[in-house]
Each structure stands twice: as structure tokens, then as C-alpha cells.
Amino acid sequence: KAGVTQTPRYLIKTRGQQVTLSCSPISGHRSVSWYQQTPGQGLQFLFEYFSETQRNKGNFPGRFSGRQFSNSRSEMNVSTLELGDSALYLCASTRTGSREQFFGPGTRLTVL
Amino acid sequence: AQTVTQSQPEMSVQEAETVTLSCTYDTSENNYYLFWYKQPPSRQMILVIRQEAYKQQNATENRFSVNFQKAAKSFSLKISDSQLGDTAMYFCAFMPGAQKLVFGQGTRLTINP
């Protein structure tokens, strides 16, 4: 079974731009969670989607948003990028009824 | 607030030795899950072991085992017969009722040949 895939793997943007990151979960997994990893703040939960609905949300500003499609693929969007948004963005998928989250390789976003 | 604390920022041991990584957490919930994840230099997060709070028996996965002390809110990871491939950042994580992981700051573990 293929693992969680994330595209693109690397991204460079400038301040003020917006960006969309994509995550394809493991086949059959319907829950997708997103995390931001930075050296200063560590790993922080952004949001979780299940069956196209946002089920949980972390403490991030409204510039961070996401969505999930009927095939369980998920996207997250960051608008009006700031230097502090530079981070590794990780997504994880979970099988229904399980608590184990399986992570993708991440998208490294650099904001200049 | 639910928090996870890993008090050892860095650890270093010789190959084949046993090493224990510490983790404490704070929560008022009674039912939750605990995990240890490993993040090697490739940055891929890999699940090492999980523990359900309602289970008294400590989880074991091959060379990896945990010491779960619910009353003390402690969840340490023991790696036996350490190998060079165990070199990585190790994160302790807590999951309350919601599908959301709260991570500690991590312990950088180096296995020396």
C-alpha cells in the first residue's frame, strides 16, 4: 500500500503571496491532519479533516485554511505569506476507528 | 492546557547500549493515547510505539518498549540494543479524545559506533 504523499516537496515563495499544499492519504484513510514544524515552535497542529468536513482546528490565524475532497485528498492554503510561515508542513492520515496517524514526507516552505 | 514535556534535548549512547527517553504530560482527561514518533534526518515521521491510557500493560515493539505511569503522567521510551539506524529526533505525543496530536519538543538521540 502506498504511503501518504505530499506535493510539492519544496516551495519558495515571497512575502504576501499565497500557497497551496496537497496531501494524498493512504488508500482507505478518511482522516487527514496537518501540522506545522518549525525550530522555534516545534510541531503544532493546524487542522483535521474527515469526510470533507473540518473536525478539529488548532490555534492558527485565518490565513491558514484547508479543505478535503471526496476522494479524501486534502489541500491546505496559506494566504498573505509571512516570513514566520517558513516551515515543514506535515500531513498525516488515519484509518477510521484508529488513532494511529501516518505521516507524509512533508512540504518544506521557504518564505523570502 | 494539554502539554507534553521532554526534559532531555539531546542524548548520546554507544551502539548496542540501552537508552531511555523521558516524557511527561499534563491532562485532566482520563482516556487518551500516547505515542512515540521518530524523525530521522530525512524528516519522515515514523510511528515507533503507541499506548492506550486504559491499558495497564506497557506496550512493546521489538527493541522498543515503554514505561507508562498513568498516575505520574509519565511515558518513557526504552530502546534496547541500540543501532546506528536509531539515530533520530524522538517525539513524545499525546492524543486526547480528538484526532489531534500534541507533541513534545523532542529529544535528539545519537547512536555512536
Return mean pLDDT, chain A. Answer: 96
Integer Cα distance of A106 and A59 in angstroms: 20
How do residues B43-75 score in pLDDT, each as one tens digit? 899 999 999 998 889 999 999 999 999 999 999
Quote the pLDDT of residue A65. 97
Region of A72 please: left (phi>0), alpha (psi -120 to 50) or beta: left
The cell 491558514 sits on which residue? A64
The verdict on a CB contact (< 8 Å) between B99 and A94 is yes
Integer Cα distance of B79 and B111 in angstroms: 11
Is some CB atom of chain B closer than 8 A to the CB atom of A60? no
**Hey, what's the cell of B81?**
540494543
Contacts of A35 in chain B (CB under 8 A): 101
Integer Cα distance of A2 and A8 in angstroms: 17
pLDDT at A96 over 90: no
Tell me which H or E stretch contains A80: none
How do residues A26-35 score in pLDDT, each as one tens digit? 999 999 999 9
Write the DSSP string, B40-71.
-TT---EEEEEEETT--SPPEETTEEEEEETT
SS percent in chain B: helix, strand, coil, step 5: 5, 50, 45
Tell me which H or E stretch contains A97: none
From B103's Cα to the closest Cα of chain A, the distance in A is: 6
**Hey, what's the cell of B30?**
482520563
Is some CB atom of chain B closer than 8 A to the CB atom of A25? no
Considering Cα of A40, then A43, then A45, then A46, what sign does the dihedral take?
Answer: positive
Show pLDDT as tens, one digit a residue, over chain B (113 residues).
789 999 999 999 999 999 999 999 999 888 899 999 999 998 899 999 999 998 889 999 999 999 999 999 999 999 999 999 999 999 999 998 788 999 999 999 999 99
**Hey, what's the cell of A74?**
486534502
Return mean pLDDT, chain B. Answer: 95
Flag the least confident range among A11-20, A73-82, A89-98, B102-111. Answer: A89-98
Contacts of B42 in chain A (CB under 8 A): 105
Q: Which residues contact A43 (CB under 8 A, 6 or more apart)?
A: A35, A36, A37, A90, B91, B101, B103
Integer Cα distance of B96 and B33 in angstroms: 7
